[in-house]
Amino acid sequence: MMQSAAVRQLVLLLPALGVIVLLIGVPLGLMGWVSLLEKSASAGVDWQASPGAGNYLRLVWEEDFDGRMILNPTYLVIFLRSVLQAAVTTLLCLVLGLPVALWMAGLTRTGRMVMLLLVTIPFWTNLLVRNYAWLIILREDGWTTAVLNRLWPFGPVQLLYNDAAVAIGLTYSFLPFMILPLYSVFEKFDWRLIEAALDLGATRRRALRRVVLPLALPGIVAGSLLVFIPCLGAFVTPALLGGGKTAMLGNVIQAQFGPARNWPFGAAVSIVLLAIMLAVMTAMALWRSRRAPR
Amino acid sequence: MTDAHAVTIETVSKSFGRGQSAVRVLDNVSVAIGRREFFTLLGPSGCGKTTLLRLIAGFETADGGTIRIEGADLTKAPPFHRPVNTVFQSYALFPHLTVEQNVGFALEEQGLPREEVRRRAGEALEMVRMQAFARRRPSELSGGQQQRVALARALAPRPKVLLLDEPLSALDLKLRKAMQIELKQLQAEAGITFVFVTHDQEEALTLSDRVAVMQGGRILQMGPPRSIYEAPTHRFVADFIGDINLIEAEALAGGGVRLAGGGVVPVPGATPGRVTLAIRPERARMVAPGAGVVDATLVHSAFLGTAMLHKLELPDGGSFLIREADLSAPMPERGGRVGLCLPAEALQVMQA
Ligand SMILES: Nc1ncnc2c1ncn2[C@@H]1O[C@H](COP(=O)(O)OP(=O)(O)OP(=O)(O)O)[C@@H](O)[C@H]1O
Ligand SMILES: [Mg+2]
C-alpha cells in the first residue's frame, strides 16, 4: 500500500520534474560547463578545450604586455554599478510604492479595482515601448528638460544617458512588483492596530514606524526581492536610457553573447550574476527565519 | 480651571454618511462623568455606545458639541494628545510584539528610559497577574489572557480615564464573572475613571456606580444601578433591564390609577390619561382572591432554585410574573384564582 502510494506520487511528479530538469537543470549545467571553456578561433565555443577558471579570473585580472596579471577594474565597476543601481531602484520603488499601496488599501472596492488595473497596465505594454517613451520624455530638447532648466539655477541639466536616467527607467518598470505585494499585505491589515497605537500616544508617523512597517515586512521583503533580482540583470533600460555609457551586468552578458561572440566569458558573467542573486535570496531567507516568532 | 468631572460631554451629535443617506448615530448627548467613577453605557446593539466611546478616545470627531477631559476642551484633539486609553473589544494587541513590549508601548512613546519602561510594564502585568507570560506573543495566549494584557497595556501609562468597549464579551460566563470582580477591584485600586460599554444589563448593574441607558443615539435614563432598576422612567429602560411586569392602566383625575381589570391602586402624581404601570416580579405578591387590587388566574409555577416563579393571567388576558423568594409561602393550585397585591411604593408609573 505505502509503496504504491509513493510510486503514484512519483509518477504524478514526473512531468513536472521532467520540465524542471530539461528546461532549467540542463541549460544551467550547460552554461556552467561553457563558462569553464574557451572561445574558439571561429568565435564559437571550443568544446575540445580543457575546462578551467580562466573566464572567472579574467573578470578581475588581465594579462598585460609583459605577461603579468594586473587588476582590471572594468568588470568590478560594472558589478558594483549593477548592484548599486538595483539597490537604488529597490529603495525608490519602496519609497514610492509604500504610500501608494497604503492609499490603495484604504479605497472603496471599486477604487481598489481601478487602481489595481492601472498599476498592472504597464505590464501589458512592451518593455521596449515603455523605455522609448522615457527616451522621449527625458530627451535633451524635450519639455521636461526645458522646464527643469528654467528651475535649476546651476547650468543646464542633462536628463538622458546617465545613471539617473537608468534609475528612473528601472523604477518605472519595476514599481508594480513592489506595489502589488505591499498592497496584498495592507489589504489584510488590521487597521484597529493603528488606532491602538494612536490611543497609546503614538503619532501617525510613530504608528507607521512601530506598527505598520514591522507588520508589512513580509511584503517589503517580497517586493524588494522582486525588484532587486530582475534589476540586477536588466539590459534594455541601461542600453536605451544609459546610452551605453552606463553598462550593467545585463549589457555585458548581451555583448558577450552578441557582438563580442565570446560565449564562455558571457556564461561566466551569467553564473556570477546568478550567484549574487542566490546569495541575496539566501541571506533574506536566513534573516527572516531568525527573526520569525518561535 | 477646576472641573470636578473626569469627562464632560456637552450636546454632542454625530452622523455617518452625507446628504440623503446620512444616519444620525448620536443625537444631542450630554453626560458628565465624575472622577474615579465606574460609568457604564448600556444599550442594545447599534445604539451608539461604541461611537460615543470613540468620540471620547478621539477616533471620530463630533459634528457638534464639546468634549472635555479633566477640564480641558479636547473636542478636536487627536487620540495621542488625550489622557485616555482604550481597551478594545477586539483587544487589538500588536501581534509582532511580546506581551511585555505590548504593555510597554505607551511608556516608550512617552520617552521613558528602557529600565523604567520594563519596570512599569512589569508592574502593570503584575496587576493583571500576567507576569509569567511577559515573553510570549499575543497569538500564544488564550482569550482571557489576551484580555488581561489589553487591560494592562491600557493601564500602564496611567491614564486619567480608561475606556472599555465590551471588554468581557468574548469570554465565557465563568471567566466573565471572575474578570468582572477583578475589573472592579482594579478600578478601585488604580483610582481611575472607567467608562465601560456593555449590552449586558446584569454586568452593568453589578459593576457600575452609574449607568446610562442608551437607545437610538440618545441617553434615555442615567443614574445609579438601583434607581435604573427600581425606578425606570421609560418603558424601554424598564423592559431592557431585568424582568418586569407592564400593565396598561389609566390615571384618574382624583389621583390613583385604575387597572384594566378594574382595581384602583393609590399611586399619586400621575397626569390623568393612559399610563403604563411597571412592577418587578419580586415586588408583587399573591394574596387570597378578592384581597388584592385585581384577581388573576395562576397559569404556571416553576422552581428556580432560590425562588418560585409564578405566571399569572390577568382578567384582560395579559400575563404577569411573580417571583416569590419565600419558599414556605402557601402555594395556590394551578388554574386557581388568586388576588394580586401591588404595593404602591413598588409601582412605577410611566406615561404610555
Ligand atoms: N463608520 C461608520 N460608518 C457608518 N455607520 C456607522 C459607522 N460606525 C457606526 N455606524 C453606525 O452607527 C450606529 C451605532 O454604531 P455603534 O458601533 O456605536 O453601536 P454600538 O452601540 O456600539 O453597538 P454594538 O453593541 O453592536 O457594538 C450603527 O447603526 C452603525 O451601523
Ligand atoms: Mg459597539
Instruction: For residue range B158-169, list pLDDT tens digits in order.
Output: 898 999 999 888
Which residues does chain B have within 8 Å of residue A215's beta carbon, measured at their own beta carbons?
95-96
Ligand 1 pocket, B48 CB below 6 A?
Answer: yes
Contact flag A201-B109 (C-beta cutoff 8 Å): yes
Chain A closest-CA separation from residue B4 CA (Å): 24
CB-CB neighbours of B312 under 10 Å: 24
Ligand 1 pocket, B215 CB below 6 A?
Answer: no
Q: Which of B58, B53, B349 is nearest to B214 (CA)?
A: B53
Ligand 1: residue of B13, B50, B165, B213 to mutate (most ligand atoms within 8 A of CB) is: B50
Instruction: Give residue-wise pLDDT tens across range B60-114.
Output: 999 989 999 998 899 999 999 999 999 998 899 999 999 999 999 999 999 999 9
User: Band of the pLDDT at A279, cuts 50, 70, 90?
Assistant: very high
Residues of A (152-211) whose Cβ lies below 8 Å from B:
190, 192-193, 195-203, 206, 210-211
What pLDDT does residue B311 have?
92
Which residues does chain B have within 8 Å of residue A203's beta carbon, measured at their own beta carbons?
78, 80
Q: B16 alpha carbon to ligand 1 midpoint, in Å?
A: 9
Chain A closest-CA separation from residue B171 CA (Å): 20
pTM across the whole model: 0.79
Task: Give the integer Cα–Cα distance in Å for B352 and B341.
Answer: 22
What pLDDT does residue A140 have?
81
**pLDDT over 80 at A294, yes or no:** no
Report DSSP state, residue A208: I
Which residues does chain B have within 8 Å of residue A199's beta carbon, measured at their own beta carbons?
57, 59, 79-80, 84-86, 154
Please give the class, per CATH, of domain A73-291: mainly alpha
Q: What is the mean pLDDT of chain B?
A: 89
Q: B48 alpha carbon to ligand 1 midpoint, in Å?
A: 6
What pLDDT does residue B3 have?
63
What pLDDT does residue B1 have?
47
Chain B closest-CA separation from residue A293 CA (Å): 8
Mean pLDDT across the stretch B202-207? Answer: 90
Q: B5 alpha carbon to ligand 2 midpoint, in Å?
A: 24
Q: Which residues line ion ligand 2, judged by CB < 5 Å? A: B 50
Helices A163-187 and A73-105 meet at what angle, rounded to 10? 40
Q: What burial class does residue B147 get, using C-beta atoms within 10 Å of its C-beta: 0-12 exposed, 13-18 middle, 19+ buried?
A: buried
What pLDDT does residue B63 have?
92
Instruction: Give residue-wise pLDDT tens across range A242-257.
Output: 887 778 888 888 888 8
Q: Whose CA is nearest to atom 18 of ligand 1?
A: B48
Q: Whose CA is nearest to atom 13 of ligand 1?
A: B46
The full set of domain ranges for chain A reads: 73-291
Ligand 1 pocket, B51 CB below 6 A?
Answer: yes
Task: Give the integer Cα–Cα distance in Å for A266 and A247.
Answer: 14
Contact between B88 and B197 (Cβ < 8 Å): no
Backbone angles phi, psi at B283, to 5 degrees: -95, -10
Contact flag B92-A196 (C-beta cutoff 8 Å): yes
Contact between B337 and B295 (Cβ < 8 Å): yes
B161 to chain A: nearest residue by CA? Answer: A199
Q: Where are the alpha helices (DSSP H) in B98-255?
A: 99-109, 114-127, 143-155, 173-190, 201-207, 225-230, 235-240
Instruction: Give residue-wise pLDDT tens across range B264-323.
Output: 888 877 778 888 888 889 888 888 888 888 888 999 888 888 888 999 988 888 889 999
**pLDDT over 90 at A146, yes or no:** no
